[in-house]
Structure 1
Amino acid sequence: MNLASTAYSSSAYSYPKSRFEPTVLVDLNSRAERERLSKSALLGFFKLAGAWQLRDEDARELLGGLSASSFYDWKKNPERVLDVDRITRISYLLGVYKALHILYGEELADEWVQLPNSNLIFGGRTPLALMLGGGLLAMQTVRRLLDARRGGL
Protein backbone atom coordinates (compact mmCIF):
# COMPACT_ATOMS: atom_id res chain seq x y z
CA MET A 1 0.00 0.00 0.00
CA ASN A 2 1.46 3.33 -0.97
CA LEU A 3 0.92 6.69 0.72
CA ALA A 4 -1.01 8.11 -2.23
CA SER A 5 -3.80 5.59 -1.71
CA THR A 6 -4.41 6.42 1.94
CA ALA A 7 -7.70 8.02 2.92
CA TYR A 8 -5.88 11.02 4.30
CA SER A 9 -4.96 13.64 1.78
CA SER A 10 -3.48 17.04 2.37
CA SER A 11 -6.87 18.56 1.62
CA ALA A 12 -8.32 16.72 4.61
CA TYR A 13 -6.32 19.03 6.82
CA SER A 14 -7.28 22.31 5.16
CA TYR A 15 -9.48 24.85 6.84
CA PRO A 16 -13.14 24.89 5.81
CA LYS A 17 -14.28 27.68 3.53
CA SER A 18 -15.56 30.72 5.33
CA ARG A 19 -18.10 33.32 4.36
CA PHE A 20 -15.62 35.89 5.64
CA GLU A 21 -12.84 36.87 3.32
CA PRO A 22 -9.54 38.04 4.77
CA THR A 23 -8.94 41.76 4.62
CA VAL A 24 -6.57 42.76 1.88
CA LEU A 25 -3.80 44.74 3.49
CA VAL A 26 -3.00 48.14 2.04
CA ASP A 27 0.63 48.58 1.05
CA LEU A 28 1.44 51.98 2.53
CA ASN A 29 4.88 51.83 0.95
CA SER A 30 3.11 52.25 -2.38
CA ARG A 31 2.94 55.93 -3.29
CA ALA A 32 -0.23 55.27 -5.30
CA GLU A 33 -1.96 53.88 -2.21
CA ARG A 34 -0.84 56.84 -0.11
CA GLU A 35 -2.06 59.23 -2.82
CA ARG A 36 -5.43 57.47 -2.77
CA LEU A 37 -5.77 57.60 1.03
CA SER A 38 -4.10 60.85 2.09
CA LYS A 39 -6.83 63.42 1.48
CA SER A 40 -9.58 61.38 3.12
CA ALA A 41 -7.24 60.54 6.02
CA LEU A 42 -6.55 64.22 6.64
CA LEU A 43 -10.21 65.20 6.35
CA GLY A 44 -11.08 62.45 8.83
CA PHE A 45 -8.35 63.55 11.19
CA PHE A 46 -9.50 67.18 11.20
CA LYS A 47 -13.08 66.06 11.84
CA LEU A 48 -11.83 63.90 14.74
CA ALA A 49 -9.74 66.80 16.12
CA GLY A 50 -12.84 68.98 16.14
CA ALA A 51 -15.03 66.32 17.75
CA TRP A 52 -12.43 65.68 20.46
CA GLN A 53 -11.89 69.44 20.87
CA LEU A 54 -8.15 69.02 20.52
CA ARG A 55 -5.88 71.99 20.95
CA ASP A 56 -3.96 72.64 17.73
CA GLU A 57 -0.69 71.86 19.54
CA ASP A 58 -2.04 68.44 20.56
CA ALA A 59 -3.36 67.73 17.06
CA ARG A 60 0.04 68.62 15.62
CA GLU A 61 1.78 66.32 18.11
CA LEU A 62 -0.57 63.44 17.29
CA LEU A 63 0.45 63.90 13.65
CA GLY A 64 4.07 63.36 14.64
CA GLY A 65 5.21 66.84 15.61
CA LEU A 66 4.02 68.81 12.61
CA SER A 67 5.01 72.48 12.50
CA ALA A 68 2.26 75.08 12.99
CA SER A 69 2.64 76.46 9.46
CA SER A 70 2.40 72.99 7.90
CA PHE A 71 -0.57 72.10 10.09
CA TYR A 72 -2.58 75.15 9.00
CA ASP A 73 -1.55 74.60 5.38
CA TRP A 74 -2.73 70.99 5.57
CA LYS A 75 -6.01 72.13 7.11
CA LYS A 76 -6.58 74.59 4.25
CA ASN A 77 -5.39 72.23 1.54
CA PRO A 78 -5.54 68.50 2.35
CA GLU A 79 -4.51 67.61 -1.22
CA ARG A 80 -1.12 66.08 -0.50
CA VAL A 81 0.58 62.71 -0.13
CA LEU A 82 1.26 61.73 3.46
CA ASP A 83 4.18 59.57 4.51
CA VAL A 84 3.69 56.10 5.98
CA ASP A 85 4.11 57.28 9.58
CA ARG A 86 1.43 59.95 9.35
CA ILE A 87 -1.09 57.74 7.57
CA THR A 88 -0.50 55.04 10.19
CA ARG A 89 -1.00 57.54 13.03
CA ILE A 90 -4.23 58.79 11.50
CA SER A 91 -5.41 55.23 10.92
CA TYR A 92 -4.97 54.35 14.59
CA LEU A 93 -6.70 57.54 15.70
CA LEU A 94 -9.65 57.02 13.35
CA GLY A 95 -9.90 53.45 14.65
CA VAL A 96 -10.04 54.81 18.21
CA TYR A 97 -12.71 57.31 17.15
CA LYS A 98 -14.80 54.61 15.48
CA ALA A 99 -14.50 52.18 18.39
CA LEU A 100 -15.52 54.88 20.87
CA HIS A 101 -18.62 55.65 18.83
CA ILE A 102 -19.52 51.96 18.74
CA LEU A 103 -18.97 51.52 22.48
CA TYR A 104 -20.39 54.74 23.91
CA GLY A 105 -23.02 57.36 23.15
CA GLU A 106 -22.05 60.37 21.05
CA GLU A 107 -21.22 62.65 23.97
CA LEU A 108 -19.06 60.22 25.95
CA ALA A 109 -17.38 58.93 22.80
CA ASP A 110 -15.98 62.36 22.02
CA GLU A 111 -15.11 63.20 25.64
CA TRP A 112 -13.46 59.87 26.48
CA VAL A 113 -9.95 60.74 25.27
CA GLN A 114 -9.85 63.76 27.62
CA LEU A 115 -11.13 61.97 30.75
CA PRO A 116 -8.77 60.50 33.38
CA ASN A 117 -8.83 56.71 33.11
CA SER A 118 -8.19 54.19 35.88
CA ASN A 119 -7.24 51.36 33.51
CA LEU A 120 -3.66 50.22 34.23
CA ILE A 121 -2.64 51.19 30.72
CA PHE A 122 -3.39 54.84 31.48
CA GLY A 123 -2.36 54.98 35.15
CA GLY A 124 -4.90 57.69 35.94
CA ARG A 125 -3.90 59.83 32.96
CA THR A 126 -6.16 60.64 30.07
CA PRO A 127 -5.95 58.50 26.93
CA LEU A 128 -4.94 61.66 25.08
CA ALA A 129 -2.00 62.22 27.45
CA LEU A 130 -0.88 58.62 26.90
CA MET A 131 -1.07 58.98 23.11
CA LEU A 132 0.71 62.35 23.14
CA GLY A 133 3.53 60.99 25.31
CA GLY A 134 3.78 57.53 23.79
CA GLY A 135 3.32 58.31 20.10
CA LEU A 136 2.51 55.65 17.57
CA LEU A 137 2.83 52.68 19.94
CA ALA A 138 0.52 54.30 22.49
CA MET A 139 -2.04 54.99 19.74
CA GLN A 140 -1.84 51.33 18.74
CA THR A 141 -2.31 50.28 22.38
CA VAL A 142 -5.41 52.44 22.84
CA ARG A 143 -6.83 51.17 19.56
CA ARG A 144 -6.28 47.54 20.56
CA LEU A 145 -7.82 48.12 24.00
CA LEU A 146 -10.97 49.58 22.49
CA ASP A 147 -11.18 46.93 19.77
CA ALA A 148 -10.90 44.25 22.47
CA ARG A 149 -13.65 45.95 24.49
CA ARG A 150 -15.99 45.91 21.53
CA GLY A 151 -15.14 42.32 20.72
CA GLY A 152 -13.02 43.11 17.68
CA LEU A 153 -9.98 41.19 18.93
Structure 2
Amino acid sequence: MQISVKSRKPVEYTAVALKAYARAAAAWRLSQKEAAGLADMSESTWKRAKKPGFTGELTKDQYLRLSAIIGIYKSLELYFSAPLAAEWMTRPNTGPLFGGARPVDTAIEGGLPQILNIRTYLDALRGGA
Protein backbone atom coordinates (compact mmCIF):
# COMPACT_ATOMS: atom_id res chain seq x y z
CA MET A 1 0.00 0.00 0.00
CA GLN A 2 1.40 3.36 -1.00
CA ILE A 3 0.67 6.48 1.01
CA SER A 4 0.78 9.73 -0.87
CA VAL A 5 2.17 12.80 0.83
CA LYS A 6 -1.06 14.63 0.05
CA SER A 7 -3.05 12.16 2.16
CA ARG A 8 -1.01 12.93 5.27
CA LYS A 9 -1.73 15.87 7.46
CA PRO A 10 1.01 18.54 7.24
CA VAL A 11 1.66 18.29 10.99
CA GLU A 12 2.34 14.54 10.70
CA TYR A 13 4.63 15.05 7.70
CA THR A 14 6.51 17.78 9.54
CA ALA A 15 6.92 15.60 12.63
CA VAL A 16 8.38 12.73 10.59
CA ALA A 17 10.77 15.02 8.69
CA LEU A 18 11.97 16.73 11.87
CA LYS A 19 12.44 13.45 13.73
CA ALA A 20 14.55 12.00 10.91
CA TYR A 21 16.56 15.22 10.61
CA ALA A 22 17.15 15.32 14.38
CA ARG A 23 18.46 11.75 14.18
CA ALA A 24 20.97 12.75 11.48
CA ALA A 25 22.04 15.90 13.37
CA ALA A 26 22.59 13.85 16.54
CA ALA A 27 24.52 11.13 14.70
CA TRP A 28 26.79 13.78 13.20
CA ARG A 29 27.10 15.48 16.60
CA LEU A 30 26.10 18.85 15.22
CA SER A 31 25.89 21.77 17.60
CA GLN A 32 22.54 23.53 18.06
CA LYS A 33 23.86 26.34 15.87
CA GLU A 34 25.00 23.96 13.11
CA ALA A 35 21.76 21.95 13.14
CA ALA A 36 19.68 25.13 13.03
CA GLY A 37 21.78 26.64 10.24
CA LEU A 38 21.67 23.51 8.14
CA ALA A 39 17.86 23.45 8.44
CA ASP A 40 17.67 27.22 7.80
CA MET A 41 16.08 27.94 11.19
CA SER A 42 16.96 30.14 14.11
CA GLU A 43 18.40 28.28 17.08
CA SER A 44 15.26 28.98 19.12
CA THR A 45 13.04 27.58 16.36
CA TRP A 46 15.24 24.48 16.09
CA LYS A 47 15.01 23.91 19.85
CA ARG A 48 11.20 23.99 19.60
CA ALA A 49 11.05 22.02 16.33
CA LYS A 50 13.00 19.03 17.62
CA LYS A 51 10.60 18.48 20.50
CA PRO A 52 7.59 16.18 20.02
CA GLY A 53 4.37 18.09 19.44
CA PHE A 54 5.90 20.91 17.39
CA THR A 55 3.01 22.52 15.51
CA GLY A 56 4.91 25.10 13.50
CA GLU A 57 5.09 25.02 9.74
CA LEU A 58 8.15 24.50 7.57
CA THR A 59 8.79 26.31 4.33
CA LYS A 60 9.17 24.44 1.06
CA ASP A 61 12.90 25.21 1.21
CA GLN A 62 13.14 23.70 4.69
CA TYR A 63 11.31 20.55 3.60
CA LEU A 64 13.66 20.21 0.63
CA ARG A 65 16.69 20.73 2.87
CA LEU A 66 15.51 18.13 5.38
CA SER A 67 14.75 15.65 2.63
CA ALA A 68 18.17 16.08 1.00
CA ILE A 69 19.97 15.92 4.36
CA ILE A 70 18.16 12.72 5.27
CA GLY A 71 19.29 11.36 1.89
CA ILE A 72 22.87 12.39 2.70
CA TYR A 73 22.61 10.64 6.05
CA LYS A 74 21.33 7.45 4.41
CA SER A 75 24.04 7.56 1.73
CA LEU A 76 26.76 7.95 4.35
CA GLU A 77 25.36 5.04 6.35
CA LEU A 78 25.33 2.83 3.26
CA TYR A 79 28.66 3.90 1.79
CA PHE A 80 30.95 4.21 4.81
CA SER A 81 31.61 2.20 7.96
CA ALA A 82 30.10 3.44 11.22
CA PRO A 83 32.87 5.74 12.48
CA LEU A 84 33.41 7.52 9.17
CA ALA A 85 29.70 7.71 8.34
CA ALA A 86 29.11 9.63 11.58
CA GLU A 87 32.14 11.91 11.16
CA TRP A 88 32.14 12.58 7.42
CA MET A 89 30.00 15.75 7.52
CA THR A 90 32.18 17.34 10.22
CA ARG A 91 35.65 16.39 8.97
CA PRO A 92 37.66 18.64 6.66
CA ASN A 93 37.36 17.35 3.09
CA THR A 94 39.70 18.06 0.20
CA GLY A 95 37.15 16.91 -2.39
CA PRO A 96 36.21 19.28 -5.22
CA LEU A 97 33.02 20.50 -3.52
CA PHE A 98 34.69 21.35 -0.23
CA GLY A 99 38.18 22.82 -0.77
CA GLY A 100 39.42 21.61 2.61
CA ALA A 101 36.33 22.79 4.52
CA ARG A 102 33.93 20.61 6.45
CA PRO A 103 30.95 19.51 4.32
CA VAL A 104 28.53 20.76 6.98
CA ASP A 105 30.06 24.25 6.82
CA THR A 106 29.82 24.38 3.03
CA ALA A 107 26.20 23.16 3.26
CA ILE A 108 25.27 25.85 5.77
CA GLU A 109 27.00 28.56 3.74
CA GLY A 110 25.84 27.34 0.32
CA GLY A 111 22.28 26.53 1.35
CA LEU A 112 20.00 24.22 -0.58
CA PRO A 113 22.10 24.22 -3.80
CA GLN A 114 25.18 22.98 -1.91
CA ILE A 115 23.16 20.47 0.10
CA LEU A 116 21.85 19.05 -3.18
CA ASN A 117 25.39 19.04 -4.61
CA ILE A 118 26.58 16.99 -1.63
CA ARG A 119 23.67 14.59 -2.05
CA THR A 120 24.48 14.14 -5.74
CA TYR A 121 28.20 13.72 -4.96
CA LEU A 122 27.50 10.95 -2.45
CA ASP A 123 24.98 9.26 -4.74
CA ALA A 124 27.66 9.23 -7.47
CA LEU A 125 30.18 7.70 -5.09
CA ARG A 126 27.68 5.06 -4.07
CA GLY A 127 26.81 4.32 -7.69
CA GLY A 128 30.42 4.13 -8.78
CA ALA A 129 30.18 7.13 -11.11
The alignment partner of 1:76 has SS state of: coil
CA contact (8 A) 1:92 1:139 kept: yes
The alignment partner of 1:40 has SS state of: helix
Gaps of 5+ in 1: 1-25
- 1:83: how far off? 2.1
**2:84 pairs with one of 103, 108, 126:** 108
**2:59 pairs with one of 65, 68, 83:** 83
Pairing 1:131–2:107 present: yes
After superposition, residues 1-153 of structure 1 pair within 5 angstroms as: 34-64=10-40, 66-80=41-55, 81-151=57-127
CA contact (8 A) 1:43 1:78 kept: no
- 1:33: how far off? 6.4
- 1:144: how far off? 0.2
Alignment length (residue pairs): 126
Counterpart of 1:52, as a letter, is: W
When structure 1 is superposed on structure 2, of 133-142 and 73-82 the one drifting more is 73-82
User: Comparing both chains, which one has the higher relative contact order based on Cα–Cα distances under 8 Å and sequence gaps of 6 or more?
Assistant: 2
The structure where helix makes up a greater share of residues is 2
The percentage of counterpart residues that share the same residue type is 32
Change (3 A) 1:112 1:77: same
CA contact (8 A) 2:48 2:54 kept: no
TM norm structure 2: 0.86
- 1:116: how far off? 1.1
The alignment partner of 2:127 has SS state of: coil
TM norm structure 1: 0.73
- 1:121: how far off? 1.2
Where does residue 17 of structure 1 map in the other structure? none
Whole-angstrom distance in 2 between the partners of 1:63 and 1:108: 22
Change (3 A) 1:78 1:144: farther
The root-mean-square deviation of aligned C-alpha atoms, in Å, is 2.3
Gaps of 5+ in 2: none
Whole-angstrom distance in 1 between the partners of 2:128 and 2:58: 27
Whole-angstrom distance in 2 between the partners of 1:151 and 1:89: 22
- 1:114: how far off? 0.9
Whole-angstrom distance in 1 between the partners of 2:34 and 2:18: 15
